[in-house]
């Protein structure tokens, strides 16, 4: 009972530790997830800043060019010659591919190839509808064969060319012309647009980072159409190729509570909830979008394998979990070992408390405990019969005197051994006094069988040698009582057996007698 109490405590302790470890691992995983999100947010913030700063530079350049063109009184064909020649002779490469103009009537001032592109896609007309910077969708250029984007900026100014200016001056005088200019300036007439064309690689380059090479995928994604342009490229899908999210919806699934449809909706609605964890082709990724200033509904999407983001943290979590389980395991082993030691000790103590140390049979306490289990406390009648034997070694004092305590002990030990062996699994055998043995036979034995047992024991006792040389001629006296024939309770049974022994002793001993 005590052992099971300790076992229970150990199990409870181990269970508690397992729960604590699992909770800690879950919390760490959550922290890893939060760390991923934070890292992703930091990466996105940096990329967004890099991208938008670069876009600002592109648009600022164009606005400056637009202001110059707007302030100029020069016709577009002359302006075009001036602007397109600015890159000639320069030691550095201009960041753009082409520069040109479109006037309010749709005439295009650019290279032949550029004209083809502007006309084909109707960019000129679209730009005129916008009173600010207009950025086209990516398109394949006839000039380069590559994906390009073109930025348009409005060009304003008086509706008066230099040639007209000169003609009016001759006719009306310079002061009249100056007055007209001031009036026209106030009107700010849209003369047309200036445009600059960039390689899409430029945008790809803005979003690119050597730090994230190999592991990272970067896309330009249109939130409305679901179209994307692959910026980083793979063997199967080189950089610059188009795709559509619908084709990948079956292979990309949101994980860790994220939903792909919800994320796409967030992209369409331009919310801040821009991060998602996904699984594609068996690998887990964190991906996030950031909108591109100036390209309506276009976003940069960055996709990074989760293991890249969280390798260190995941390793840490794993190491901590393994260490925790190792410690727990060691604790369990220690507890198990201690438990076994304790059980052995307890058994030893138990043995000591109920066993006679000399003869190795039960002592009085042990007999009492055994009988307590067999006889109910309220002296109810047992169904099973039993036989109680009081057995004394005759003249034991003389044996002690003649052979010393050593000899006496030997006699006691061998007597106990004879009784224990004969009555093994049949009776409780106990040494209850110096030379007194009590037995309770719980297995069915008839009177004749008990008599026969007594005869055997008598013979066996007779061959006991107190000093290893001489048979001591040990005899015993025994009183025997039966349950329930001779007594209805244990106390009465013991008393009956004792009385029978007394009678044997009075008659000179070396015999056994049944109570009657």
Partner 1 sequence: MKRITVAILVLLLILSGCKAKKQEASSGEAIGFELVGEPVEKGKNVYVVLKVLTNQYWQGVVAGLSEAAKDNKCNVYVGACVDEGDWQAQQKLLDEAMEKKADGIIVAPANSTLLSDKLKEIKDSGIPVVLVDTIMNDVSSFDTCYMTDNLSAGSKAAEEMMRLFEENGISKDEKAEIAIQITSTASQTVIDRMAGFNQYWSANAPENWKVLDDIGLNNGNKEKAQQLGLEFAENHKDLKGMFGCNNSSTVGFVKGLEESGRDDIMLVGFDYADETAALIKKDNKTATIVQNQKLMGYKGVERVLELLEGGKSDLKFTDTGAVPVNHSNYAEYEKELEG
| Residue 238 in contact with partner 1, rule: CB under 8 A | yes
Per the CB < 8 A criterion, the answer to whether 200 and 229 are in contact is: yes
For 438, half-sphere exposure in the C-beta direction (CA atoms, 13 angstrom radius) is 22
Smallest distance from partner 1 to CB 227, Å:
5
Of the candidates 133, 167, 164, which has an alpha carbon nearest to the alpha carbon of residue 55?
A: 133
Strands of 352-465, DSSP E:
386-393, 427-431, 436-441
| Residue 52 in contact with partner 1, rule: CB under 8 A | no
| Residue 509 in contact with partner 1, rule: CB under 8 A | no
CA distances from 437 to 204, 403, 440, 449 (A): 102, 21, 10, 19
| Residue 236 in contact with partner 1, rule: CB under 8 A | yes
| Residue 287 in contact with partner 1, rule: CB under 8 A | no
| Residue 234 in contact with partner 1, rule: CB under 8 A | no
Structure tokens at 497: 């057996």
What DSSP element (H or E) covers 104? none
Q: Which of 53, 86, 241, 315 binds partner 1 (CB under 8 A)?
A: 241
Q: Which of 18, 78, 143, 328 binds partner 1 (CB under 8 A)?
A: 143
| Residue 82 in contact with partner 1, rule: CB under 8 A | no
- DSSP class of residue 84? H
**Geometric angle at alpha carbon 39, from 35 and 45, rounded to 5°:** 145
Q: Which of 42, 82, 86, 244 binds partner 1 (CB under 8 A)?
A: 244
Q: Which of 91, 92, 105, 247 binds partner 1 (CB under 8 A)?
A: 247
User: Is residue 35 classed exposed, middle or buried when 0-12, 13-18 and 19+ CB atoms within 10 A define those classes?
Assistant: middle
Strand partners, 362: 355, 430
**Geometric angle at alpha carbon 392, from 389 and 397, rounded to 5°:** 170
| Residue 253 in contact with partner 1, rule: CB under 8 A | no
Smallest distance from partner 1 to CB 243, Å:
6
Size of the site for partner 1 (CB under 8 A): 30
Give CA–CA dist 127/154, Å, rounded: 8
Length of the chain: 516
Smallest distance from partner 1 to CB 222, Å:
7
| Residue 227 in contact with partner 1, rule: CB under 8 A | yes
Structure tokens at 343: 């059980």
Segment near partner 1 (CB under 8 A), from 211-219, 237-245, 317-325, 492-500? 237-245
Q: Which of 97, 141, 266, 310 binds partner 1 (CB under 8 A)?
A: 141
Give CA–CA dist 454/144, Å, rounded: 121
CA distances from 507 to 220, 468, 504, 512 (A): 119, 30, 5, 10
Q: How far is the first Cα of the chain from the last one, in angstroms, to the nearest whole number?
A: 42
Segment near partner 1 (CB under 8 A), from 19-27, 50-58, 137-145, 415-423? 137-145
Centre a 10 Å sphere on the Cβ of residue 273 and count the other Cβ atoms it contains.
13
| Residue 324 in contact with partner 1, rule: CB under 8 A | no
| Residue 456 in contact with partner 1, rule: CB under 8 A | no
Smallest distance from partner 1 to CB 261, Å:
8
| Residue 122 in contact with partner 1, rule: CB under 8 A | no
| Residue 294 in contact with partner 1, rule: CB under 8 A | no
Give CA–CA dist 93/224, Å, rounded: 35
Q: Name the one residue in this structure whose structure tokens are 């995983």.
A: 29
Q: Which of 106, 113, 376, 434 binds partner 1 (CB under 8 A)?
A: 113
| Residue 98 in contact with partner 1, rule: CB under 8 A | no
Segment near partner 1 (CB under 8 A), from 54-62, 189-197, 231-239, 497-505? 231-239
Q: Which of 31, 146, 160, 328 binds partner 1 (CB under 8 A)?
A: 146
Which x/- pattern over 328-357 shows residues binding partner 1 (rule: CB under 8 A)?
------------------------------
| Residue 142 in contact with partner 1, rule: CB under 8 A | yes
Q: Which of 13, 61, 139, 316 binds partner 1 (CB under 8 A)?
A: 139
Task: Compare residues 249 and 347 and give the one whose CB is closer to partner 1.
Answer: 249
Task: Compare residues 238 and 404 and give the one whose CB is closer to partner 1.
Answer: 238
Cis peptide preceding 474, ω within 30 of 0: no
For 19, half-sphere exposure in the C-beta direction (CA atoms, 13 angstrom radius) is 6
Smallest distance from partner 1 to CB 82, Å:
22
> Computed over its alpha carbons, how large is the radius of gyration of the chain?
54
Phi, psi of 63, rounded to the nearest 5 degrees: -65, -40
Give CA–CA dist 222/299, Å, rounded: 6
Task: Compare residues 261 and 425 and give the one whose CB is closer to partner 1.
Answer: 261
CA distances from 304 to 34, 251, 310, 434 (A): 15, 16, 10, 88
Segment near partner 1 (CB under 8 A), from 183-191, 240-248, 304-312, 409-417? 240-248
User: Please, which residues have CB within 8 angstroms of residue 38's CB and are 6 or more apart in sequence?
Assistant: none
Which x/- pattern over 168-207 shows residues binding partner 1 (rule: CB under 8 A)?
----------------------------------------
| Residue 66 in contact with partner 1, rule: CB under 8 A | no
Binding site for partner 1 (CB under 8 A): 112-113, 116, 120-121, 137, 139-146, 222, 224-227, 235-236, 238, 240-244, 246-247, 249
């Amino acid at each position: 009972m005590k052992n099971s109490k300790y076992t229970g405590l150990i199990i409870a302790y181990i269970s508690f530790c397992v729960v604590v470890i699992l909770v800690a691992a879950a919390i760490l995983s959550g922290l890893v997830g939060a760390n991923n999100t934070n890292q992703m947010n930091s990466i996105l913030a940096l990329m967004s800043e890099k991208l938008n700063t670069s876009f600002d530079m592109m648009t600022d350049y164009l606005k400056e060019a637009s202001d110059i063109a707007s302030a100029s009184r020069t016709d577009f064909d002359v302006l075009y010659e001036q602007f397109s020649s600015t890159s000639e002779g320069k030691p550095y490469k201009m960041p753009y591919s082409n520069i040109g103009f479109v006037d309010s009537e749709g005439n295009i001032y650019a290279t032949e190839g550029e004209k083809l592109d502007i006309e084909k896609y109707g960019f000129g007309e679209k730009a005129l509808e916008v009173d600010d910077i207009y950025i086209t969708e990516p398109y394949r250029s006839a000039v380069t064969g590559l994906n390009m984007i073109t930025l348009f900026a409005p060009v304003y100014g008086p509706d008066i060319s230099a040639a007209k200016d000169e003609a009016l001056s001759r006719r009306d005088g310079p002061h009249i012309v100056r007055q007209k200019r001031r009036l026209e300036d106030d009107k700010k007439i849209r003369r047309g647009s200036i445009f600059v064309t960039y390689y899409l690689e430029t945008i790809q380059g803005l979003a690119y980072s050597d730090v994230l090479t190999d592991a990272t995928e970067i896309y330009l994604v249109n939130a409305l159409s679901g179209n994307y342009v692959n910026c980083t490229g793979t063997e199967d899908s080189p950089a610059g190729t188009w795709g559509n999210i619908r084709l990948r919806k079956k292979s990309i699934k949101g994980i860790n509570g994220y939903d792909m449809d919800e994320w796409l909706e967030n992209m369409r609605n331009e919310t801040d909830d821009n991060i998602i964890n996904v699984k594609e082709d068996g690998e887990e990724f964190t991906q996030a979008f950031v909108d591109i200033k100036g390209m309506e509904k276009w976003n940069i999407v960055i996709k990074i394998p989760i293991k890249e983001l969280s390798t260190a943290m995941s390793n840490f979590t794993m190491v901590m979990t393994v260490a925790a389980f190792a410690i727990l395991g060691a604790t369990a082993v220690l507890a198990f070992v201690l438990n076994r030691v304790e059980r052995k000790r307890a058994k030893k103590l138990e043995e000591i408390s109920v066993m006679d140390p000399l003869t190795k049979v039960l002592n009085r306490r042990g007999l009492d405990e055994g009988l307590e289990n067999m006889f109910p406390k309220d002296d109810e009648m047992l169904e099973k019969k039993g036989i109680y034997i009081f057995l004394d070694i005759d003249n034991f004092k003389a044996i002690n005197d003649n052979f010393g305590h050593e000899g006496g002990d030997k006699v006691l030990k061998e007597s106990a051994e004879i009784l224990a062996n004969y009555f093994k699994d049949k009776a409780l055998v106990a040494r209850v006094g110096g030379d007194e043995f009590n037995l309770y036979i719980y297995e069915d034995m008839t009177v004749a069988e008990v008599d026969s047992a007594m005869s055997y024991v008598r013979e066996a006792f007779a061959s006991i040698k107190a000093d290893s040389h001489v048979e001591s001629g040990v005899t015993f006296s025994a009183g025997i009582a039966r349950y329930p024939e001779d007594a209805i309770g244990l106390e009465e049974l013991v008393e009956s057996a004792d009385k029978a022994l007394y009678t044997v002793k009075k008659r000179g001993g070396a015999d056994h007698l049944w109570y009657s």
